[in-house]
Each structure stands twice: as C-alpha cells, then as structure tokens.
Structure 1
Amino acid sequence: MAVAESLLRWLVDGSLAVSGALLLVLVLRRPLRRAFGVRVAYGAWALVPLALVAAALPRPQAGQVLAPELVALHPGVLVVAAVEAASASAAGPGIDWALVLAGMWLIGMALAALRFIRQQRHFLARIGRLERDAEGHWRGARVEGPAVVGALRPRIILPVDFESRHGPDEAILVLAHERAHLARGDTRANLVAVALRCLQWFNPLLHFAGRSFRLDQELACDATVVASHPQARRRYADAMLNVQLAVPGLPVGCHWQSSQSLKERILMLKQPQPGIGRRRSGILALGIMLSACSYAAWSARPAGAPEPPPAPESPIRAAEGPMPANRLPPPEYPPDAAAKGLDGRVMLRVLVGADGSVKDVVVEHARPEGVFDAVTVAAVRQWQFAPRVENGKAIEGWVRVPVDFRASDPAPAANDGDAPGPAPGA
C-alpha cells in the first residue's frame, strides 16, 4: 500500500536524522558546557526536533539544481506488464510487509503513549487535591516537593508546609528555580521529548538520552538562579539537599532530580559562570550548528518533484537532447504490482556521458513510492544513449526520463520508420 510505504520511508528518514542529531548533542554537550555555559549546552537539544522536521521537508525538484537548458526532457518510456506474469503472481499475492510494519509501528506508538499517560496520571493522583494560594501557587498536603506540572497550563505545586521546610532565603531560591522553568517553557520541551519517544519508540538512543536531557534542563535552571543570586551559591546548594528527592516519574513536568544528578548539579555551582560575551558567542555558534545540521538533515532526503508533465502518446518520439539507442533492456514489471493491477510512473534524472553510457541515475518522483523505483534504476543503468552533440562534439549532460508502468494496456503502436528504436516492454 502506497500510504504505508510512504509512512515507513518517513519513519526511516526521521529516525536516521534524529539518531544523528542525538549522537552529536551527546558528544558536544560537555564541551559546550565548558566553553559557553550550561544554558547554551541545554539549547543544543533543540537540534533533535529540528532534525526531524527538516528530514520531513521535501527537497526541491532535482532538475532545478541545474540550469534548465542543461536538462533535456526525454519523451518517455512505456512498460507493459506481461499477462502471464500477472496471472502467475495472482495465485499467491503474498504478505504486504509495508502494511504489517506500519501496523506494528502504530501499535508500539500507542503503547508508549499509554505508558507515559499512565505515569502522568499516577503522579497527579498521588499529589491529590490542590488549592491555590495568594501568590498563584498550588499547594497540597500530599505534595512531596516543589515541581512544575503541565504543558498547556503549567503551574507550580508546593507542599502545604513549604515555608516550614525551608528558611525564607532557601524558599526564595527554590521558587526562583521553578519560575525559571515556567519562564523558559521547559514543560513544553518535555512534552516534545515525550512525543518524540512515542513517535520513535523503536529508537533506543531517544530513551537513553532522556536522562541527559533532563539533567541539562535542571543545570540550565540552576545557572539562571545563580546568575540572579550570585552570592547565594551555598544557600542554593543547601536548598537542593533539603528538598525531597524521592519524586516519582513525571513525564510532562519539571521536578527536583534524584541524588544521581544532585552531585553534578552541586559541582556546577562551584564553577564560574561564563561572561556575557562568551554566552553570546555560544548562542551564535549554537545557531550556526543548528542551521547547518538542519540543512544536512534536509538535504539528505531523496529529492521530491512536482507532478511531471504528461508523456507523449507514443512510447518514444523524437525530441531534443540525448536519445536512446537500440540497447535498452526494459525494466522488469514487479510481479506483486502486476498481480494487484498497479500502474505507476517513475521520473528519472539520468546523467549521460559523452560516450552515451549512464553515469548517474536519480529518482525525482515515483508514484506509488517504493514500487517501481528499484527495477527502473537497475534497468536504466544498463541503457546506452546517443549523447548530446554541441559544435560537432559529444558532451556529457542530464536528461529527464519519465517511465510509465501499465498493468493492463494494449500493445504499443509500432514506431515510425525514423524512430531511434523500439519501446521496451516486459
């Protein structure tokens, strides 16, 4: 099924882009932290969703990369399925593996989403009823520690006895930490991270990187608090130690981390914060890295193309540009496609050398995707063309070749006497 194949291709492209972005961030997060500060290192995680979005964008038509006059349009090739091939395949249509894999992905995504929803609801049920105080915070008798909950309407939740657990100075620092989460929209970033983990539940790198992402998020918040209260590093470290640490999982929210990351957070407080110049240089370097990597993820996708112009009625007709010679092994009509009665079209860009051989083949557009591409490319690589001639000399050049596949079609008409060769058929 064309929809299932397109979905799988999108998943593969997106998974490769996300994995590459994750590996890059995991390698660079510590060097960025040392060079420009933890807030710049946390910003590098934006590369992961940007890579996924960039990989999903179609590239421009491949023929537009070159000047229009350098790309000639071949009038087209018609491939007709043999009746015996279709009838032989009709007895055993086989399994549509693309549809099976797409179904498995949907089931896995639904199970992953249910798992995170269950964790979120378990946390909300655990904290019980909340009441809003005069400062706009939400308090509850069963709240174990300060946290920010929710993505669309995030709110700070506190224990009822929050002030009695901390002195006035510590309480100010803890609230400054939670307000930093609100100001930067960290809960929305966590929602994006959860959505990516559901979308690509099969990608182990996403699950492995989750803890590092949350740690960088907390470190960035700590740096924001320290920048606003530079003389309160010791009190802020004491506040971290006094906050309840055994907080259950909260997928969409921000809570104080467990003791595994507490040591690294306290050590960060001892490090000098980078100056405004270094931070600005880091933001500039981060912007360049995000732009370059997003472009790399975008350009790595196969070129898309608008609907090509209709092919001429006859399979081969005289036209400007390179023309096929008599050596044209036809593409083999895929048996599954013939059995299902699938028609299609593959638009190719073919680089024809000065000797008429095929130097390169690029699939601009295929309908349906993934059905006729491979057999067409394999056949075209064996073709021999008459090269373009300019000023009496054969030169290398590109030609766009539409190849049409028709499962049930009358035999193509005979070529005119001046036609360069017969139409390939299967």
Structure 2
Amino acid sequence: MTAADALLRWLVDGSLAASAALLLVLALRQPLRRAFGARVAYGAWALVPLALVAAALPRPDVGQALAPELMALHPGVLVLARADAAPAIAGAPGIDWALFLAIAWLSGTGLAALYFARQQRRFVVALGRLEPDADGSWRGQRVGGPAVVGALRPRIVLPIDFEAHHAPEEAALVIAHERAHLARGDTRANLAAVALRCLQWFNPLLHFAERRFRLDQELACDATVLARHPHARRRYADAMLNVQLAVPGLPVGCHWQSSQTLKERILMLKQPLHGTGRRRAGTLALGVMLATCSYAAWAVRPAAVPEPPPPPAPEAPPAPPAPPAASVPPVPEAPPAPTPPPVPAAAPAPPAPPPVPAVVGPRAVDRLPPPKYPAEAAAAGQGGRVVLRVLVGIDGSVKDVVVERSEPEGVFEAVTLEAVRQWTFSPQLKDGRPAEGWVRVPVHFEAPAPGPAAAEG
C-alpha cells in the first residue's frame, strides 16, 4: 500500500468515525446537560478527536492469535495474465487517483488553514496597541469587549474603560468568566477544533457543529463561575445583558458571546446547579461512553495489511508452469547445418487459448471466480504472490479475509481480496461435521515473458 493509499484510507475511516461521533454528541448534549450539568455535556465533545485517533490506529491481525497448527494450508491458486494483454495496455495512459486525491486534500487543508490564520490575524490586528494591567489582563482603546486570545500564550483583553461601563460586581464576574476559560484550557480546545476543521475541510458536519461546540463551552464556563459565586445569578445575568455586543470571528480564543446565544445562557442560569455526586456520576458515565465509542471506532475498521513476517517453510507445491501459449520461445535466425529444423517455417504453431486459473490439492474450491490480473502489472510483465488467511464458515462461505503478506506490496492485494470474498470452499470436518476454521491460501500471479512478437510490436 502506497503512502497516498494509506492517507486516503485514513481520511475515509476518520471522516466516518468523526461524523458518527458528531451525530452522537449532537443528540446527547442536551440530555447530558439536563441530567448532569453543562460541564459534563461539554466534555462529551472529546469523543470527536478520540474517535478520529481510534480510527487511525491499526487493527490487529485476527489470525495472529491462533496457533499455527490450527491454520490449515490451502494448496494455492495460480493466476496467469493473458499473453495478448500487455501490448494492448502498455501504451494506455494511467492516472494515479490516490495521489491526485491526496494532493487535493492537502491543498484544501492548506487553504482552510490560511483562512483561519487570516481570520485570527485580522482580529488581533483590530485590537490595536495593548497595555498590560496590574491584574494580568491587557487593555486597549480599540478592544470592543472582553475576550481571551491565543492558545499557546492566552491572555485576557479588556476595553481600557471597562470598569466605567459596569458595576464593580458585574466587572468582577465577567473577569472571573474569562479567567475560567484560561483555567479550563478552552482556547487550546478551540485550536484543536480548528485543526480538525482544517484536516477534514470536506466534512460539513464539523463546520455545522462548531457553533454548538462554542455554546456548550460558554455554558460550561458559566456553570464554573456560578459554582464559585452561587448567590450572584442576578448580577451575572445583568453582566450578560450589558456586554451583549457582536464580536467578529475569533477561531483561537474565547469572546463574550453576542445575543445569538444569550437566550440559552440566561435560561441556564434559572436551572439549579447539580450536586457533586450527580456530576461525578455524569463524569463516570461520560468516561464509559468515551471508552466504548472509541473502541467501537477502532474495532469496526477493516484489518490493515500486516508487515510481512520472515519467510516460512515451503507451504505449497510449486505453481504449475505456464502453458506454451503464455510464452513464445524465440526462433533462431539460422538453424545449425547438421541438424534439420524441427518445425517447418511455413507452419507456425497456432497460439493456444489464454490459460485459466488453476487450483490444485485436496481441499477443493467449489466456485472460484479468478482474480483480475491488474492491467498495469500485465503491461509491465510483473508477477507476484499474495498469501491470505481465510476464515471459512461451516457452509463453506468466506467470513473474513486477512492479507498475511504480499510480494510486491500494493499491486495484487485489492484484486485478490475482491475475488476471494466470492469464493466457496469445502469446509473442514471435525468429528465428521463441518466446522469453521482458518485456511492459508497462497495466490500466485504469473505474467508471460515477452516474446518476439510482443517485442516487435
């Protein structure tokens, strides 16, 4: 498997896992908030990056846990390329779609990163000159409202006349809200959200969920402040009403939300805070959900191609040689004088029909659609070998397939897996009854050597 193929496989698996995680979080965020509080509901968003990471982990080879003596040995399959296929395909131009899609994904990721970086830069430049304050915040003439800016070195920015527009208790609650963002590391979570949106710029669910993620973040921060100031609900609501200005987009940072989310935040202030026991139960339930869903995202992935182990002892008889039609020996220019030519030049042997895939050995295969010989490999005269581990059910059907090794890698695996899933085997017998079991099937791909006709054409 090439690097481009591996990248595309990770993108597909990661997109499916992240989308499933997003749908689950969007469905559970409000029930979790009502049952356990806003902070537990906000923690559920960790499922999205966990699912993405779990989908990128390689799945273990299911056959490695089985003892070698339980693995039956299938005699093997020989797949031959048609002798007339190479000249017809050799000149056909090929497009590496995996590489093309990988370049398109990287281009989209770069453009998305530039867009968010420009948006962040525009916000920071609009703040103007900032001066440090004694309480650790930064003040500026052009600052429109309280915010936390940056991820690696986040800082609180406030208007220079902030206290002149707010009562002392309101100003203290607003600053406590911004400091809660700093203590919780919310700006780093926003940076991770931006990175996910750049990596999966093609996934509309990630962009749709960004606003809900920010709202849950603000609600969790409000709950943190109210837990420290339980008797300041009215003052906190007044502070929200007095600072409800629209702030331009800030990708990496936390700004005091505008009136778009003000209604939900004020409604949350009317709800009683959950006790410590309820929050701990919610945290435990959330941890179980995160672990279960992450394991599911990892387990449903198709098995990855393992690294080829050291060559084992000979497992199968050598493949039968190709029929004479697959390889035409060169005709000598002039036969030796003492020996007459064995075949008259005027009567060349007609070409034999293309060879058919052969199966040898005692374990017969009832229905065997042959793998398609890859066109590029046939054109290049390239052969190879794929060793499979096949789980055969009691009815002879194929229940699972794992590529044990492939030579060369990334050439014959796909066509072999596509064909082997359609095969029907004779199941092994245990105590006179069909039983499920693993078999090892070597599949040989052999292309004919180019003859004189092919060389001249």
Q: TM-score range by the shorter chain?
A: 0.7 to 0.9
Residues 244 and 394 (structure 1 numbering): CA distance in 2 closer, same or farther, change over 3 Å? Answer: closer
User: What is the CA-CA distance between 1:245 and the residue it aligns to?
Assistant: 1.6
User: What is the CA-CA distance between 1:195 and the residue it aligns to?
Assistant: 0.5
- Contact 2:427/2:436, CA 8 A, preserved across alignment: yes
Does 2:284 align with 1:284? yes
Q: Residue in 1 aligned with 2:311? A: 310
* Secondary structure class of the residue paired with 1:254: strand
Q: Residue in 2 aligned with 1:61? A: 61
Q: Residue in 2 aligned with 1:113? A: 113
Greater mean alpha carbon deviation, residues 88-97 or residues 123-132: 88-97
Q: Residue in 2 aligned with 1:415? A: none
Does 2:205 align with 1:219? no
Whole-angstrom CA distance in 1 between matches of 2:239 and 2:362 = 78
User: What is the CA-CA distance between 1:138 and the residue it aligns to?
Assistant: 1.4
1:177-188 paired onto structure 2 within 5 Å: 177-188=177-188
Greater mean alpha carbon deviation, residues 43-52 or residues 80-89: 80-89
Does 2:11 align with 1:11? yes
**Equivalent AA in structure 2 for residue 6 of structure 1:** A
Whole-angstrom CA distance in 2 between matches of 1:195 and 1:300 = 25
TM-score calculated relative to the size of structure 2: 0.81
Q: Residue in 1 aligned with 2:264? A: 264
Whole-angstrom CA distance in 1 between matches of 2:2 and 2:204 = 28
User: What is the CA-CA distance between 1:64 and the residue it aligns to?
Assistant: 3.1
* Secondary structure class of the residue paired with 2:139: strand
Greater mean alpha carbon deviation, residues 51-60 or residues 137-146: 137-146
CA RMSD after TM alignment: 2.7
Deviations 1:331-370 (A, max 9, x none): 2211134335666654433123456x33324234575777
1:205-216 paired onto structure 2 within 5 Å: 205-216=205-216
Q: Residue in 2 aligned with 1:153? A: 153
Structure 2 gap segments, 5+ residues each: 320-360, 451-457
1:239-388 paired onto structure 2 within 5 Å: 239-243=239-243, 245-304=245-304, 305-310=306-311, 316=317, 324-325=363-364, 329-339=369-379, 346-353=386-393, 357-364=396-403, 371-381=411-421, 383=423, 385=425, 387-388=427-428
Whole-angstrom CA distance in 1 between matches of 2:132 and 2:217 = 26
Greater mean alpha carbon deviation, residues 274-283 or residues 394-403: 394-403
Whole-angstrom CA distance in 2 between matches of 1:166 and 1:41 = 31
User: What is the CA-CA distance between 1:79 and the residue it aligns to?
Assistant: 3.9
Q: Residue in 2 aligned with 1:413? A: none
Between Structure 1 and Structure 2, whose CA radius of gyration is higher? Answer: 2
User: What is the CA-CA distance between 1:257 and the residue it aligns to?
Assistant: 1.2
User: What is the CA-CA distance between 1:325 and the residue it aligns to?
Assistant: 2.5
1:123-134 paired onto structure 2 within 5 Å: 123-134=123-134
Whole-angstrom CA distance in 2 between matches of 1:346 and 1:103 = 29
Structure 1 gap segments, 5+ residues each: 411-426
Deviations 1:265-296 (A, max 9, x none): 01110111111111111000000000000000
User: What is the CA-CA distance between 1:93 and the residue it aligns to?
Assistant: 2.9
Residues 343 and 292 (structure 1 numbering): CA distance in 2 closer, same or farther, change over 3 Å? Answer: farther
* Secondary structure class of the residue paired with 2:84: helix
**Equivalent AA in structure 2 for residue 331 of structure 1:** P
Whole-angstrom CA distance in 2 between matches of 1:196 and 1:387 = 47
User: What is the CA-CA distance between 1:56 and the residue it aligns to?
Assistant: 0.2
Q: Residue in 2 aligned with 1:191? A: 191
**Equivalent AA in structure 1 for residue 392 of structure 2:** V
* Secondary structure class of the residue paired with 2:104: helix
* Secondary structure class of the residue paired with 1:62: coil
User: What is the CA-CA distance between 1:70 and the residue it aligns to?
Assistant: 3.2
Deviations 1:111-139 (A, max 9, x none): 11111000000001100121211222111
**Equivalent AA in structure 2 for residue 247 of structure 1:** V
Residues 85 and 308 (structure 1 numbering): CA distance in 2 closer, same or farther, change over 3 Å? Answer: farther
* Secondary structure class of the residue paired with 2:148: strand
* Secondary structure class of the residue paired with 1:110: helix
Residues 406 and 219 (structure 1 numbering): CA distance in 2 closer, same or farther, change over 3 Å? Answer: farther
- Contact 2:308/2:405, CA 8 A, preserved across alignment: no
**Equivalent AA in structure 1 for residue 158 of structure 2:** L
Whole-angstrom CA distance in 2 between matches of 1:344 and 1:130 = 67
**Equivalent AA in structure 1 for residue 119 of structure 2:** Q
Greater mean alpha carbon deviation, residues 156-165 or residues 259-268: 156-165
* Secondary structure class of the residue paired with 2:388: strand
- Contact 2:388/2:442, CA 8 A, preserved across alignment: yes
**Equivalent AA in structure 2 for residue 325 of structure 1:** A
Greater mean alpha carbon deviation, residues 391-400 or residues 152-161: 391-400
Whole-angstrom CA distance in 2 between matches of 1:102 and 1:334 = 22
- Contact 1:361/1:377, CA 8 A, preserved across alignment: no
- Contact 1:59/1:303, CA 8 A, preserved across alignment: yes
- Contact 2:244/2:259, CA 8 A, preserved across alignment: no
Q: Residue in 2 aligned with 1:103? A: 103
Whole-angstrom CA distance in 1 between matches of 2:44 and 2:420 = 44
Greater mean alpha carbon deviation, residues 173-182 or residues 381-390: 381-390
More helix by share: 1
Q: Residue in 2 aligned with 1:401? A: 441
Q: Residue in 2 aligned with 1:414? A: none
Whole-angstrom CA distance in 2 between matches of 1:364 and 1:248 = 52
Residues 88 and 267 (structure 1 numbering): CA distance in 2 closer, same or farther, change over 3 Å? Answer: same
User: What is the CA-CA distance between 1:4 and the residue it aligns to?
Assistant: 1.4
- Contact 1:93/1:339, CA 8 A, preserved across alignment: no
* Secondary structure class of the residue paired with 1:95: coil
Residues 86 and 29 (structure 1 numbering): CA distance in 2 closer, same or farther, change over 3 Å? Answer: same
Deviations 1:183-220 (A, max 9, x none): 11101100110000000000000000000000000000
